[in-house]
Amino acid sequence: MSSPAVLSSLLSCLPPRPPTPPREADHDATAPVKPTLGSGDSRLSLHTPPGFQSPASSSATDSASRRIRKKVGFSVQAEYKDPPVYTDGVTQHPTPVSLPRSASKPVKSILKATNQVPNLLEPATANDCDPSDFQLNLGAMLESTVQQLAGGDRESKLDAYLMLTRAWKASNNLPDRVALQEKMGLFTQFMQRDVVARTSEGNLDTSLVNHALNLLNTFLHFPAIASTISNDFGVFIIDHCIRSFEDVSTPKDTARRLMQVISLQNFSPKVMSSDRVARLVSSLHNIEEHLKGKSIVLSRIFVYRKLVQQSRQPMIAHSDWLLDLFTDMLSNLRDIRSAAISLGLEAAFSIGHEKQLSRKVMEILNLAYEDRRYIQYYEERLRAMAKDKHESAVVPEIWSVVILLLRVRLDKWEYAGPWLHIIQNCFNSVDFPTKIAANRAWGRLTYLMHLEEPVSPKDLATLTRPFISQLRRKSSGKPLEEELRQAVLGGICNLFYYAFKPNTNSTLLETYWDTSVKPVLSKLLDRTAESAEDNRHQATAILTGLFDCLTPRRWRVDHIVETALVKPAELPAIDPKWIRRNAGRVFAAIEPILEQDFLAMARTDTTTFALWRTLVSAVASAAAKEIKVSKDTALFVTEALNLLQRIWERGLPNQDGAEPSVLEFLLAVQAYLKAMISSLGLPPFTEKSGKHQAPAKAPLHTLFSMLSTLPPGVPDDKEFAEFFGLDLLSGIPMDIPLPYGTWLLVAENILCWLEPIQNSHHSSGSGGETPVGHDYRDIVKVLERGIRSTPNLPPKHWESLFFAAFKRAREETGDAGVAMVMIEPLAKVLVDQPATGGTNDKQLNRARLYKVVNEVLEDLYTNFGPTNAEQSARLLRELGGFFDRCNRQLFLKAMAALQDGFLPWFQDSQRLLGSQSSAVLASTKSLWDKLSHLISEVEHPERHLQCLGPFFRASFASCHRAIVNASISLWNRLFENVGHIDYPEDLKAALVQLQLHADIILPGLETSSVEDAMEVEADDQDVQCQIALEFSHSQHQEEDSTPASAEDCPKPASAEQPMHASVQQPLTEEEEVQNMIPTTNTTGSVAMVDQAETAAPKPVEKIMNLFRSGLDELRTARLSRQEVYQIEDMFMDMKRELYEAERRGRA
């Protein structure tokens, strides 16, 4: 809406409009009748009105003819004109015109669609910068509207109200709140002025009043706008509504709009005071005395509902509206009846719990109506409506509203019998919608009876009876029958929803179970019923919901407000301790389900398995804090095993002509037991019950006795044997400790299966058999259980099963197969390292295997002694065989993965491999020979120094001369023809140290650089290589009994000379330590102490004596871990001081 200045500028730009047809029907009689056009088209003469001038004749007339009255004719020939061109970019805007509603609607062409005019209230169309643009902003429009409303022209006011109302209704979102808030005070003043406007004759100006009320209702429709309306205006409009409702002269249309104002408002309690609400209810209650009609009654119902939501206490205190509610629920008009029922339910659930309201309802129902009470009249009307097919479906709804508002117990109400007879007729109706509505209404009665006081067994039986009766009915195949069935099942769940609400007394739980659950399940699990299978699934779902105490869900007392039908998953969980204590009741309910559908236990995705798992989990939850198995838990396990025994003795069930599967039956038994053991653990099966009588047997003994007999229909074959052995043990969780007797029983059965006589039955090439990998996977699981959960198992039993399985697996699958099937999975168990995402399983298992080997080799060397010498030698020999069989392309990777384990044996830094361990030393040197041979075959070894470096460093630093000589020889052979080598720093340091004492090739390292490096780094490098060479040279001197010379130092062995040719007889540890102390002065390449030092060995002897005494003490000592750590720290300090002493000696 633009301002008058803008409108005037727009109108000045318009060209003159073409002539319009006159409103008069008569024409100038003096005008001569023009002849028809001379064309051959006869339609022109038929449709041309009299007195029409053709274009030719009109052009011949002079200007005098223009002063006579204009005659307008119509032609069937279309004449098109270009649209007017507006100068300066000014576009014409339509202006509002005061027309009747029918005339004010936009004209729609039947030839083409009209262009959509943009909404001026939308933010996208606003332009605050250019008020002359066609996209006018909201501020300019509001300003123009305010000017119109402030003026005295009635038509302008109508136009302003109409424009604002239509603009707000067409707006998709809220207009500018700030701009509107600034004008809201003016708008409320204008509306306050115009809602009471009167004409000059003194009558109410209905049109202006209605337009003002329409704008007010539009404002109230937007909460953000309605919140800006002041309380003073709210008080005025409510008081004005009350006066208008009481005024007999108020037009019906105006009264309807005023009711709409009240139903839309959200005024504060200061406005909607108790007195004002009382006067409003009274005026609405009496409005039908002068205003009648469907719209008035509907509007009044909407007002009542709004007041119930907004002003609860005043509506409870002033109850005149209740009589209107009861009357409107019996209306013959469907819309009024439905609105009244909705109002009744709203009132019943929101304020029905107030006793004052219940007393008001009772007073109304006890009022005299004609010659009887009003409740009797109501009963008669409902019975009559129940017989009418078109009205019977609403009878249960009305019935439930009365019950909810009355809030009286049936056994204390004198009209309970006739009132229940009404709903009984609805249950027995032939109309399915009526039956469905009756089930919903019955659910509301269930909610009411469980709301406050405990339900007596008699009342609970009354609530349960209609559902049982409907479950007996046979299917008729009608379309709405399935919907009725769902309503019945939803009503049953609703009954259990409120009967087993949280914190219900355990005594009441027993009553509710026996009175409601037991008869309902008995009917649902009737095998003779037509839909027996579906009934069983429904019963399973209901029990699962009642037993599920692990799934969190919220119980709400007002669940009935949303729907009277409850799903099984929404049922509250019964107290787990009650379930455990009443195992007899529980198993009596679930036994028919397991008997009828036991094979479904073999599949974890079935409802039967879910029921059993949920039940066992509930019992486990109740027993979670038990230190010792309670009597209730033992009773539950006994009942469970008794049920399994009955199923076991019955054997394979019949499946309607289909042959049952033996394997499926055994898997179902396994799943049954596995669910119990995984949840309850082993103590309930191993502890004996019964203290006052003769000693009872443990449930585990009963279980094994039962399973030792063949059930009917199950043959004594491989499947049953595997079930009794592997499958039965697999039912026990891996992390539960077991007595090794159980493990040994299974292992002995497996050993019999692995006997050579069985080879023909388990060959890898037999067709149609289970793959070999599956059999050995089960054996590996038994071996894994022996490691993880059988702590007292003697090693010899485990090793017996392992080597037997290893031998058979190697015979059938080869080395690669046994590594994949057995070694790698067991290595995973030994390392006990969780897998990480994104790593290949085979590579991860191989890494675990290498890690296990390294840890075993390191442990054997650290704890080396006579007890593990044989094991060490055997493992080193097996490791050599592994490298012999290793793929040459993967050799370096395998060596790098395992070198942390065997390099300590090569270096022998603790000098453990003496004369008492000749076999271990021989195995070590044999392994070194094999690795040396494989390394010599590597192409371009200079490229693999990162991998070979640790091997050479350990070999150069070895305490055994043969290994040192052989390693120098190997190095020279590998790199004698290499021009340049990129040495790793640690290997470079070892080579520089070694070059001082041996003839070794170092490509790329000049002598000067070697000497400089020695001078700079000599103090920080490890001198173990030098000590080893000194020891070897000293040993050589003693054996030859000749003075030391330069030829006595270690020299590289020739390529043709095997390493074993240079192996000397190993010495004991003490001899080797003593020989490390030089006694003579030599001039060879080996650095020796001078004669002065050997002449005065007193400090050295003192230190050696201290070491000997400490070593003797250590052989018999018993130390804690912390003490060992302290001694290790001292050893490190001593080693550092030893090197410092050697450096001082060289200086």
Read off the tokens for 658.
């289909």
pLDDT in tens, 92-134: 444 444 444 444 445 444 544 444 444 444 444 444 444 434 3
Task: Give residue for tokens 């409303």.
Answer: 149
In 3D space, the residue among 606, 604, 574 whose CA is nearest the CA of residue 589 turns out to be: 574
- pLDDT band for 413, please (50, 70, 90 cuts): confident
Per-residue pLDDT at 1092 exceeds 60: no
CA distance 302 to 259: 8
Phi-psi region of 1015 (alpha: psi -120 to 50; beta: other; left: phi over 0): alpha
* Mean pLDDT computed over 422-451: 92
Check if the beta carbon of residue 650 is closer than 8 Å to that of residue 594: no
* Mean pLDDT computed over 15-27: 48
CA distance 486 to 566: 10
When mean pLDDT is compared across 140-154, 294-308, 841-855, the lowest value belongs to 841-855
Q: Tell me, what's the pLDDT at 766?
A: 38
Per-residue pLDDT at 59 exceeds 50: no
Please give the C-alpha separations between residue 139 and each of 67, 121, 503, 732, 801, in angstroms, as whole numbers: 48, 10, 62, 79, 93
Phi, psi dihedral angles at 1022 (to 5 degrees): -75, 130
H/E element, 369: strand 368-369
In 3D space, the residue among 498, 466, 497 whose CA is nearest the CA of residue 484 turns out to be: 466
Which one is predicted more confidently, 87 or 456? 456
Read off the tokens for 278.
């009382």
Q: Tell me, what's the pLDDT at 222?
A: 86
Could you list the beta-strand ranges (E) of 828-958: none
- pLDDT band for 718, please (50, 70, 90 cuts): low
When mean pLDDT is compared across 329-338, 606-615, 1053-1062, the lowest value belongs to 1053-1062
Q: What totals of helices (H) and strands (E) does the chain contain, helices first?
A: 53, 2
Read off the tokens for 4.
């008058």
H/E element, 1014: helix 1007-1017
Q: Tell me, what's the pLDDT at 13?
A: 45
Which one is predicted more confidently, 841 or 1053? 841
Name residue 1028's amino acid: A
Q: HSE on the CB side for 1001, CA within 13 Å? A: 16
First-to-last C-alpha distance (Å) of the chain: 108
Phi, psi dihedral angles at 462 (to 5 degrees): -65, -40
Q: HSE on the CB side for 833, CA within 13 Å? A: 19
Read off the tokens for 170.
């067409």
Q: Which of 705-719, 754-768, 1008-1022, 1086-1100 has the highest mean pLDDT?
A: 705-719
pLDDT in tens, 892-947: 888 888 888 888 888 888 888 865 567 888 888 888 888 888 888 888 888 888 88
- Threshold 0.85, pTM exceeds: no
Check if the beta carbon of residue 191 is closer than 8 Å to that of residue 257: no
Check if the beta carbon of residue 33 is closer than 8 Å to that of residue 50: yes
Read off the tokens for 587.
């198993």
CA distance 352 to 407: 8
Phi-psi region of 1054 (alpha: psi -120 to 50; beta: other; left: phi over 0): beta
Phi, psi dihedral angles at 198 (to 5 degrees): -130, 160
Could you list the beta-strand ranges (E) of 850-961: none
